[in-house]
Structure 1
Amino acid sequence: MSPSVLTYLNRGLAVTVADFPGLGSPSGQHPYLDSYSAARSMIDSVRALRRVYPHVSARWLTYGVSQGGGAAWATAEIAASYAPELQLLGAAAQVPSTDKAGLVDRAIEGTLTIEQQGIYQWLLESLARQHGTLNLDELRAPQLRAVWDQLSLCGGDTAREHALHTVTAEDFLPRSEAAIEYLRGLLEPMSPPHRRSSAPLLVIYGGEDRFVDASGTESSITQACEWGSTVAIDYQSTAGHLTVDTSSIWPFFKQRLGGVPAQDNCE
């Protein structure tokens, strides 16, 4: 069992771990990085828990990392309307994947890191499986197409890791303005924020993150603040994607459970 799950169980909380659509069950194609699809799964996991254990409180918290961080952020937006029978108290979004359009910008500029190249390829493959009208060949070079199947394998597969080191950022340069605009149109509905959050947010991110650009996270925070969301910011200038300090999460959750007003760094 995950140490973090045990930590929260030992603090007296019931815990669910959501399966995102297409993962863990035969539920169709996985909409990779679609924060709102994953958010509905998070909320539904709480509903399922309370159906099995009716005594579990309707007050709850959500937490996610990277893809799950974007999902936790989206959950904070839709929870009140999607599940009015539940009371979301707060959401912790750790190194959240929110700014998908930023990956397109970096592809155009030829500045994708090797880590972002892997994320972007998965994202394009996922979108192509869902939208047959997306022409991948307008978004990739021939040498990238040659290793596409290997790149579409699961993370950690040696064939995928080898393929990632045979391509460059220039191989992801889009070939068509129309394809770029179509791609942006697909990504926009997947990418929070879109509205005021119904619960306070804690956003943890690092300045040396090679997967999720800090500038993209900051842009998302600015947008959330403009919508009127309450956002507590934990920016760590020297931290990377997997090395951020998460010690701020439990105090944030404990305050939400105790009814303490949330810190708001938007001002």
Structure 2
Amino acid sequence: MYSFRALAVIAFSLTASFANAQAPDVVEQSTGFNSSFALSTSQIEAASLSPETANRVNTVINFDRSQLANGGPAEDSFYQLPPLNDTTTALKPGILLKVQDFTNTTSFVTPPNTALSRILYTTTNFNGTVIPASAFILWPFSPKPFKQTPTGPARNENSTVKAPAILWTHGTSGFFASHAPSSHRALWYADAAPFALALAGYAVVGPDYAGLGISKSWDGADIPHQYLLSSASAHDALYAMEASLAAFPDRLDARFVTMGHSQGGGVAWGVAEVLAAKGDGEFKTLAEGYLGAIAGSPTTSVFSGLPGFILPWVGMMLRGIFPDFELSQWLTPLGIARTQLLKEVEGGIGVGTQLYLQAGEDVVRADYDETSWHAGAYARLANAGGRPFRGPLLVVQGTRDLYIPYDVTTATVRGTCDANPAGDLEYLVVNGTGHVPTLDATRPIWLQWIEDRFEGRALEKSGCARTDLASFLPLDRYQSVGNSFPQFAGLPEFSYQVPLGP
């Protein structure tokens, strides 16, 4: 559920520790961080951190801050909101606020022969309040051409006038403004999806989600990230697509496939649900270009993961939806103190791992019950699945996923198919793969699935169907996790790290 490649440096290679809900060790890999952060003595004492834990938190924060392009949203002028000139027309969702047509990628690690743009636009939170948000568009060097098919709609033989679009919905990057993928040097998922898609010829539209990138509205009100609320982030994604088409009408094809992973897998599924509900109304124009969705390792049961992860992250913003909620209903005093520290330092997943998963330290109340009113009510609002959806929908799930349990996704798929017997949902089960690596293992499949949708080919399996994928070689011969991580960008003295230099 909580997926990104940077986390692998401290967590994915130590799955045994995670299985026991313990934080992995952290070793400083480089003294060349572009950050010199250190927790204060008062912060360490208030959060009851051991010297070892404090050092680990410092290391992770310095690494995370070193991954911010141009210093992140706090220092990058792109994220400064333009003034509203006409509040009667501007305060609607899907309005384009700012366009950065050319984003200088010196501070990014995007692949050669890709180009980057960024936009600000309006969306809504779950309560319906119109708020600003940010997104990126990663452009291919050459748009992918498509052929006509006998059964498909008419297409140009070489569709090079506009780039076919992928609406990419990312997995958990964090909970604060600095965790926006548009400000991350690798756009958060790097080659796992956005780079691979752009290099395959697609324009990748990547919403940050509300609360990430832009943290305050025009009136100074905070914009919390409504974590794991799939329908809210699905609206963020659809409004980002609307704004991107308005920004680049001559460059971006209105036809698009939605693809997401983890939190974003739930969001991609949520897009299919929102279009089923509003595809003949508010999103009619977008629905006309919608070709289907891929939900990789999707969040469909908010509280099925480790409570030490989920409860603080959801609890931080829950009062914005349920005003009577108190964090003390879920967390111990230690958990509350650690959450306060997480807010102070704007920590991401790696910091949360250290704060909440230390052996012998209870951050969740012993009497916490996931069937309690607030947990149950939020799950009903947040979870994707079990409702009508606009197909086709490809759900991809690995059987050794530590964050999104295979049996949970299987149950959601079964319930969704029971509720939509005529819907086109293919469930691709990948034997032996973990959370993010499932994307790598299935890349040829989802790239072909996307191409088939643009070329108008019929589905290989219609209705509700299951496909099982096994490894070509024995599983123990494969590297199971990523072990390569970007550290520096834009500095020629580090060009020796890539083949033949710059």
TM-score by length of 2: 0.47
Moved more, 252-261 or 124-133: 124-133
1:44-193 pair list within 5 angstroms: 44-55=239-250, 56-80=252-276, 81=278, 82-86=282-286, 87-103=289-305, 112=306, 117-152=308-343, 153-155=346-348, 158=351, 160-166=352-358, 171-173=363-365, 175=367, 180-193=372-385
1:153-178: per-residue Cα shift (whole Å, max 9, x none)?
422555x4432233669653463669
Aligned partner of 1:40 in structure 2 is: 235
SS at the partner of 1:202? Answer: strand
Greater CA drift, 129-138 or 149-158: 149-158
Task: Provide the identity percentage.
Answer: 24
Aligned mates of 1:178, 1:202 — CA distance in 2 = 29
Q: Distance in 1 between matches of 2:383 and 2:361?
A: 23
Corresponding position of 2:65: none
The one-letter amino acid of 2:263's match is Q
Q: Specify the code of the residue in structure 2 equivalent to 1:251.
A: Q
Once the 2 structures are TM-superposed, how far is the Cα of residue 205 of structure 1 from its aligned partner? Answer: 1.3
User: Residues of 2 paired with 1:178 and 1:188: CA distance?
Assistant: 12
> 1:151·1:164 contact (CA, 8 Å) conserved in 2?
no
SS at match of 1:182: helix
What SS does structure 2 have at the residue aligned with 1:154?
coil
**After the TM superposition, which of the residue ranges 124-133 and 193-202 deviates more from structure 2?**
124-133
Q: CA deviation at 1:20?
A: 0.3
Greater helix proportion: 1
* Superposed CA offset, 1:124-171 (max 9, x none): 22224543311222222334334232355422555x443223366965
In structure 2, C-alpha distance between the alignment counterparts of 1:77 and 1:178, rounded to whole Å: 25
Tell me the amino acid that sits aligned with residue 154 of structure 1.
G
SS at match of 1:192: coil
8 Å contact 2:312–2:335 — kept in the other structure?
Answer: no
Q: Residue in 1 aligned with 2:206?
A: 17
Relative CO higher for 1 or 2, CA cutoff 8 Å, sep ≥ 6?
Answer: 1
CA RMSD of aligned residues (A): 2.6
Shift of 1:10: 4.1
Cross-structure match for 1:232: 426
d(CA) in 1 for partners of 2:234 and 2:327? 27
The AA in structure 1 aligned to 2:447 is W
Specify the alignment match of 1:107 in structure 2. none
Shift of residue 100, structure 1, vs aligned partner: 1.3
Matched residues in 2 for 1:168 and 1:203: separation? Answer: 37
Hey, what's the Cα distance between the residues in 2 that align with 1:7 and 1:243?
14
Task: Measure the CA separation in 1 of the matches of 2:203 and 2:356.
Answer: 40
Q: Please state whether the residue corresponding to 1:73 is helix, strand or coil.
A: helix
Distance 1:130 1:74 in 2: 19
Q: Is the 8 A contact 2:303 2:310 kept in 1?
A: no
Query: Which shows bigger deviation, 128-137 or 69-78?
Result: 128-137
Per the alignment, residue 266 of structure 1 pairs with 464
Show CA shifts across 1:26-69 (max 9, x none).
Answer: 35111001111111111111111111222333221011111111
- 1:68-113 Cα distance to aligned partner (Å, 9 max, x none): 111001101112514110221111111111111434xxxxxxxx3x
What corresponds to 2:387 in structure 1? 195
- More moved, 132-141 vs 43-52: 132-141
The alignment status of 1:253 with 2:477, answered yes or no, reads no
Provide the C-alpha distance between the structure 1 equivalents of 2:349 and 2:331, rounded to a whole number of angstroms: 23
* Uncovered stretches (5+) of structure 2, i.e. residues with no partner: 1-109, 111-189, 218-222, 466-502
Distance 2:361 2:398 in 1: 22
* SS of match in other structure, 2:203: coil
Change (3 A) 1:78 1:120: same
Helix, strand or coil at the partner of 1:211: coil
Instruction: Find the aligned partners of 1:196 and 1:127 in 2 and give their Cα distance.
Output: 26
More strand by share: 2
Contact in 2 for aligned 1:91/1:202 (Cα 8 Å): yes
Aligned residues: 255
Gaps of 5+ in 1: 104-111
Which 10-residue stretch deviates more, 215-224 or 74-83?
Answer: 74-83
SS at match of 1:16: strand
Q: Given that residues 29 and 130 in structure 1 are in contact (C-alpha distance below 8 angstroms), is that contact kept between their aligned partners in structure 2? A: no
Distance change in 2, residues 1:216/1:11 (3 Å):
same
1:182: Cα distance to partner? 2.5
Report the more deviating stretch, 71-80 or 179-188.
179-188
Q: Is the 8 A contact 2:386 2:412 kept in 1?
A: no
What amino acid is aligned across from residue 454 of structure 2 in structure 1? L
SS of residue in 1 equivalent to 2:205? coil
Distance 1:169 1:69 in 2: 31
Larger Rg: 2
